[in-house]
Amino acid sequence: MRKIWTVAKTEYLNAVRSKAFIIGIVMLPVMMSGSLIVGKLTKDKVDIRPRKLAVVDQSGWLAEKIETRAAARNEKDIFDPVNKTKQIRPAFVIERVAAQSADEKVEVALSERVRKKDLFAFLVIRSNIVDSAATNTVSYFTETASFVELPGWLDNVLTDEITRKRFEGAGVDQALVARLTKRINVRQLGLTEVDQSGQVIKAKETNRMATFMIPFASMMMMFMLVMSSAPALLNSVLEEKMQKIAEVLVSSVTPFELMAGKLIGTLFVSLTLSVLYIGGAALLLTQMALTGYVDPSLILWFLVFQLLGLLIFGAVFIAIGSACSEIRDAQSLMTPAMMMIVLPMFCLVPVLESPSSTFSRAISLFPPATPMLMTLRIASKPGPPLWEILLGVVLCSAFTIFCLWAAAKVFRIGILSQGQAPTVGKMIKWVFSK
Amino acid sequence: MSASPPSFAVNLVNVTKRFGTQVAVNDLSLQVPTGSIYGFIGPNGSGKTTTIRMILHIFLADSGTVEVLGRQGTRSANDDIGYLPEERGLYKKMTVRRMLLYYAALKGVGEKAAGPEVDRWLERMDLTPWAKKNVEALSKGMAQKVQFISSVLSKPKLLILDEPFSGLDPVNLEVLRSAILDVRQQGTTVIFSTHNMTTAEEMCDYIFMIYRGNKVLDGTLSSIRATYGEDTIRLRVQGGRAALRGVEGVEVTRDFGQHLDIRNPGDPQALLQRIAAKARVELFEVTTPSLHDIFVRIARPEVKEEANA
């Protein structure tokens, strides 16, 4: 037992002193806040050069409306709402092109101008656009399809103007139309509760932070913790084999002591990371006054599943590392193991959208996926019933014990094997050898 | 453990180890007396390392008994065994001192006890300036010395060295040789394997040779030589080896350049006369075969087979 601690301590110290660990500490917050920061930074870097749009208008009246609306937009909508003089959106410049009939030559000529950057895009409106039975389509031609602001704006403006024209044609009062076609907003609320004194507590508006961000962040954190620790075990065992350190080690400790020490060391590395992460997250939530959305039991379950997840994947990677003598061999065996870690990520969206569906319940009880998906479900309020969580813990623990047992068998033989590139079949044979 | 050390540090009785269908070590019995230096020799792949690994209980014997430092069939003696494997195993990214302390701790020696011992050995091996450097900065010879230090830090009762001298320059070889002799002086039993027969002859009290898994030699150097008798003649003639062509009964076992060793099971006097009739004899000495010759006599068939393969 003392030797297990000696191994664990050295593994831990080696890991926390390494650059990879420092990067690991920084990586998650950076990745999480990265998009925010990049978003903020690039907000000022918007390309505000004017976009020139040619309008081939066969209807005879729409081009003018578009021009008017564009002028109105260029006057106020393209500036920062706070700092009124700072332009943050590009202006739209409209050029009217006279064309009496649908002429392909016109389209060819305008396309050429777009290629020469003389125009950004052009729009072709047919003469029968007001007749909803005839057409509901206008054509927008551009090289830069990724710029969606202009077509999106056109969509709104044209729908507006054309429906107004259609109502006018039908003799309906505009004010009446405006009143009758007002959009309906769906306001999202939590549930109404009754407190101990029987007082009804009104439902609060749900916060996207609570319904989406917290479960999402919890699972991402679990994923990062497993990913940053378990595969590292493979490298560490492989190094010991390739550098022939393994033989020195097993002359002093049993293969089991060695494996246990390495796993425990890694466990502590990962716990150190999670303490830092959870601490950081708690600080962030306090800052944003969102602590009410996190149940303290979430942290407890998180740590339980982190432990199980690490032992499962740690055992798998340690076994692979011990069976291989070359990085190349290890890489091909690593792929299925990596798939097991990534699998829950594919289930993220369906489980997040419907945490109590049959699919979500079943997949979260599938042991290799339990640590991540059960955490996701627990973090999604109201969370699964306690018996499901406990069943998950029991199944997952049983699977963990199986993985550890099998890994110990493979490790015992693998750690001293040389040369032969192992197959999965051979490793299974090792597991069941006496 | 009993108060007095067992008379044999290692006692193997009818030990056999198979890998699949291949017999790596066959029915081996071997007694290594406490306090001796025991040399393991044998061609590559003949079973030396397997035998060593069985002594360390890294491999378990399929049959027979393995008794080490008076304890049978368990790893419990391992903390009292120092081991230098044939292929060096050091953590490149750890500093020399920290790694040595780790290796000592794995043998159950805490930092308090191991610290001064590490410093003493580093000093003795001229490695003190490297104590805080990463292992990857060491030269091959220095790494070898560090590996040796790691095997003696726990003051083992049994020290097993697999090819301790390979790749060392003469200066470092001397440093290591005297260190091994010192450790033995303090009562440690030493087993080492080597391909260098001269080193084995000079250092070992006993020689054990294993060939294709079978013990072929075991005993003191003089007893081994005696079994082969005085059938070797050291010879120097003018004109060298070419001058001996056509002389009946001359089988050159080794051409040293300056002299030849020839094997002569018959009467040396008759041979001398036959040679003298053909060439001018400068040296003619009747002697026992060297360990090298004995090794080659046993292992040559295999070497030839390998060359043909």
Confidence check: pLDDT of A45 > 70: no
The strand pair at B8-19 and B63-68 is best described as antiparallel
- Among B225, B248, B272, residue at a domain's last position: B225
Residue A39 has what pLDDT? 61
Q: Is B214 in the same domain as B72? A: yes
Confidence check: pLDDT of A312 > 60: yes
Mean residue pLDDT across chain A:
85
Confidence check: pLDDT of B304 > 60: no
Please tell me the distance in Å from B154's CA to the nearest CA on chain A: 11
**CA atoms lying within 13 Å on the CB side of residue B64:** 23
Average pLDDT over residues A47-62: 87
Under the banding of pLDDT at 50, 70 and 90, the label for residue A289 is confident
Q: Which of B91, B138, B144 best tests the A interface by mutation, with the highest count of A CBs <10 A? A: B91
CB contact under 8 A, A251 and B85: yes
Q: Is B21 in the same domain as B162? A: yes
Distance CA A59, CA A134 (A): 13
Residue B184 lies in a domain: yes
**Of residues A356, A329, A358, the one with CA closest to residue A422:** A329
Average pLDDT over residues A382-403: 93
Q: Is B256 in the same domain as B202? A: no
Q: Is B146 in the same domain as B243? A: no
Q: Report how many Cβ contacts below 8 Å link chain A to chain B.
A: 55
Contact, A56 vs A103, CB < 8 A? no
- How confident is the model over A358-392, as pLDDT tens digits? 999 999 999 999 999 999 999 887 889 999 999 99
Distance CA A332, CA A324 (A): 10
Enclosing domain of residue B251: 230-287
Q: Which of A247, A415, A430 best tests the B interface by mutation, with the highest count of B CBs <10 A? A: A247
Q: What is the DSSP letter of A246?
A: H
Confidence check: pLDDT of A429 > 90: no
Asked if A2 is an interface residue toward chain B (Cβ–Cβ < 8 A), one would say yes
Q: How far is CA A366 from CA A334, A355, A410, B64, in A?
A: 20, 15, 24, 47
Those residues whose C-beta lies under 8 Å from the C-beta of residue B294, and which sit 6 or more positions away, are B217, B224, B225, B228
- How confident is the model over B255-297, as pLDDT tens digits? 887 888 888 777 888 888 888 888 888 888 888 888 888 888 8
Q: How far is CA A405 from CA A249, A311, A324, B24, in A?
A: 20, 11, 19, 29
Helix axes of B140-152 and B170-185: crossing angle, nearest 10 degrees: 0
- Among B225, B251, B271, residue at a domain's last position: B225
Q: Is B144 in the same domain as B252? A: no
Q: Is B281 in the same domain as B136? A: no
Residue B299 lies in a domain: no
Residue B271 has what pLDDT? 84
Residue B89 has what pLDDT? 86
For every residue of A65-127, DSSP letters joined together read: HHHHHHHHHHHHTTB-SSSTT-B-S--EEEEEE--SS--HHHHHHHHHHHHTTS-SEEEEE-T
Residue B308 lies in a domain: no
Q: Is B78 in the same domain as B173? A: yes
Q: Which of A243, A248, A256, A257 best tests the B interface by mutation, with the highest count of B CBs <10 A? A: A248
Residue B273 lies in a domain: yes
Q: Is B44 in the same domain as B190? A: yes
- How confident is the model over B31-83, as pLDDT tens digits? 999 999 999 998 888 889 899 999 999 888 999 999 999 888 788 888 999 99
Q: Is B242 in the same domain as B201? A: no
Residue B307 has what pLDDT? 44
Q: Give me the number of domains chain B comprises.
A: 2
Q: Is B29 in the same domain as B98? A: yes
How much of chain B exceeds pLDDT 90, in percent?
41
Q: Is B38 in the same domain as B175? A: yes
Confidence check: pLDDT of B302 > 60: no
Residue B306 lies in a domain: no
CATH of the domain at B256: 3.30.70
- How confident is the model over A347-360, as pLDDT tens digits? 888 898 888 899 99
Distance CA A425, CA B151 (A): 37
Distance CA B70, CA B10 (A): 8
Average pLDDT over residues A205-220: 79
Residue B1 has what pLDDT? 43
Residue B297 lies in a domain: no
Domain architecture of chain A: domains with CATH = 2-30+207-431 (no CATH), 51-172 (3.40.190.10)
Residue B98 has what pLDDT? 93
Residue B301 lies in a domain: no
For chain A, the distance separating the N- and C-terminal CA atoms, rounded to the nearest angstrom, is: 24
Q: What is the DSSP letter of A418?
A: -
CB contact under 8 A, B150 and A248: yes
Which residues of B are less than 8 Å from A18 in CB distance?
93
Contact, A261 vs A4, CB < 8 A? yes
**CA atoms lying within 13 Å on the CB side of residue A146:** 0
Asked if A105 is an interface residue toward chain B (Cβ–Cβ < 8 A), one would say no
Better-scored residue on pLDDT, B87 or A5: A5
**Of residues B300, B302, B266, the one with CA closest to residue B286:** B266
Distance CA B12, CA B66 (A): 5
- How confident is the model over B72-114, as pLDDT tens digits? 878 888 899 999 988 878 988 899 999 999 999 999 898 898 9
Q: Is B254 in the same domain as B210? A: no
Residue B307 lies in a domain: no
